[in-house]
Amino acid sequence: MKKQTNVFKFGGASIKDVDGIKNVAGILASRKEERIVIVISASGKTTNHLEDVMNAYFNKQADVREKIEVVRRHHFGLIDGLFEPGDEVYALVNDLFVEIDWIVEEEPKHDYDYIYDQMVSVGELLSTRIVASYLNKIGIPTAWVDARDIIRTDATYRESQILWEDTERLVETTLTPLLDAGKFVITQGFIGSTDDNQTTTLGREGSDFTAAILSYCLDAVKMIIWKDVEGVLTADPRLFKNVQKLSRLSYKEAIEMTYYGASVIHPKTIKPLQNKNIPLYVQSFIDPTIEGTYIGPDVDDHYPPIVVLERNQTLLHIATRDFSFVVEHHMAYLFKTFAELRIFINMMRNTAISFTVCVPDLPEKIEKLKAILDKEYSVTVENDMELITIRHYQEEVLKSLTKGKIVLLEERLRNTVQMVVKNIPLIERI
């Protein structure tokens, strides 16, 4: 019989400080008998800080070293709080900073996305080294595995695609003997490697996806994502009051919610789990005794209204200059151009000669798009939009959400309403 492997994912918030790491160790210590693969993100806001380093380096700013120091101080602060001076973890962490120091010593020779992956991936290498060493120190035998030895990807830097067959083989052959030897396995979320050993990343917030990939490859019995919330809620509690916990969700509802931007789980997480019917639990690392959210098969699709709000959206109005019908002559070209620039369309609508889309506010990409389209199309850009999606909507919820806002675009499908809204400036509210 196949052994019952569990895959756990701990995000940056759970290991943001010394107490957080001790708390995670406590959760694992109470499950010593289980067979567990642990996927870990970078600690706290490290990925953002490494992006700052990357941008400073690439733009040749004078403060690159200071920005590296922010990351260095944070990690040495963690190990000072967890280990005795002289512990071997100091050298392991130091070696990882040497890699960053080497990169910034020379002028940027490669393109941005390639260097980004070499630099930003260090965040997960650091956090996993620290947590794995700490678990071993407190008597929980744990193997540290470099995700670049098991997650194979293509060379689309910053958005790499998984090479599934290679990954399946490598995961099985590398992790199974370690688990069979009675160890926990810790590896990095978010990062992978090409065939020729170049580090890649799977896209921001990609650690959940890594955990789902490993769950799939190992035929896990369950995956748990440990969060600072009690489970999946009807809306982001940072943005809305009176949210409720959803105790059960179907894969379908979870994939829809996350696709529309519910940032509690990465949208790519659900598919590999659904393909093998592996249940996903979202649970609180603050109070592990609280029952979280179960996501899986056999769930009745009856839900309260679920709200997803995405800020920093841009509305683009693209009109043909020669008055030709947009649907007949232009759609394929426009979609191709968006895809090539990797601009993700959140909502769209067309009239006879125009096409309006809501996209994330990415000024550089939008400038490139305008330059490409300029000859044939007039393009107008409206910034500072919000995109609200309501699943299983009720009219009163719609009313309260749009109070004080101008709705610029609205679409109602069977159980989903999407609206692009703008806050009304105070003066117009009088």
Is 233 or 326 the residue whose CB approaches ligand ADP more closely? Answer: 233
CB 104 within 8 A of CB 147: no
Q: Is 54 in the site for ligand ADP (CB under 6 A)?
A: no
Structure tokens at 170: 């490598």
CA distances from 56 to 113, 227, 252 (A): 14, 31, 41
- Find the binder of ligand ADP among 233, 273, 357, 419 (CB under 6 A): 233
264 binds, among ligand ASP, ligand ADP, Mg ion, none (CB under 5 to 8 A by kind): ligand ADP
Q: Does 232 bind ligand ADP (CB under 6 A)?
A: yes
Q: Do the Cβ atoms of 11 and 207 come closer than 8 Å?
A: yes
268 binds ligand ADP (CB under 6 A): no
| CB-CB contact of 318 with 370 (8 Å) | no
**In the bound complex, what is the minimum distance in angstroms from residue 202's beta carbon to ligand ASP?**
8
Binding partner at 158 among Mg ion, ligand ADP, ligand ASP, none, C-beta below 5 to 8 Å by kind: none
From the list ligand ADP, ligand ASP, Mg ion, none, partner contacted by residue 238 (C-beta under 5 to 8 A by kind) = ligand ADP
Q: Report if residue 385 touches ligand ADP, rule: CB under 6 A.
A: no
* Closest residue to bound ligand ADP by CB: 11
- Provide the pairing of β-strand 293-296 with 280-284: antiparallel
Place of tokens 């540290």: 144
Exposure of 108 in the CB half-sphere (CA atoms within 13 A):
19
Cα–Cα distances in angstroms (integers) from residue 61 to residues 36, 101, 104, in the given order: 43, 15, 11
Q: How far is the CB of 228 from ligand ADP (least distance, A)?
A: 5
CA distances from 394 to 108, 241, 245 (A): 53, 17, 18
Among 27, 170, 176, 237, binds ligand ADP (CB under 6 A): 237
Q: What is the DSSP string of 186-210?
A: EEESSEEE-TTS-EEE--TTTHHHH
For residue 29, what are its two tokens?
């210590």
Q: Cβ of residue 315: shortest distance to ligand ASP, in angstroms?
A: 26
Torsion of CA 27, 33, 34, 38, to 10 degrees: 50
Report the alpha-carbon distance of residue 126 to residue 164 in Å, rounded: 26
Q: How far is the CB of 160 from ligand ASP (least distance, A)?
A: 13
From ligand ADP, Mg ion, ligand ASP, none, which one binds at residue 263 (CB under 5 to 8 Å depending on kind)?
ligand ADP
Q: How many residues contact Mg ion, by CB under 5 A?
A: 2
**Which residues of this protein are in contact with ligand ASP, per CB under 6 A?**
11-12, 41-42, 47, 123, 189-190, 204-207
In the complex, minimum distance from the CB of residue 49 to ligand ASP, in angstroms, rounded to a whole number? 10
List residues near ligand ADP by CB under 6 A.
Answer: 11-13, 41, 205, 227-229, 232-233, 235-238, 262-264
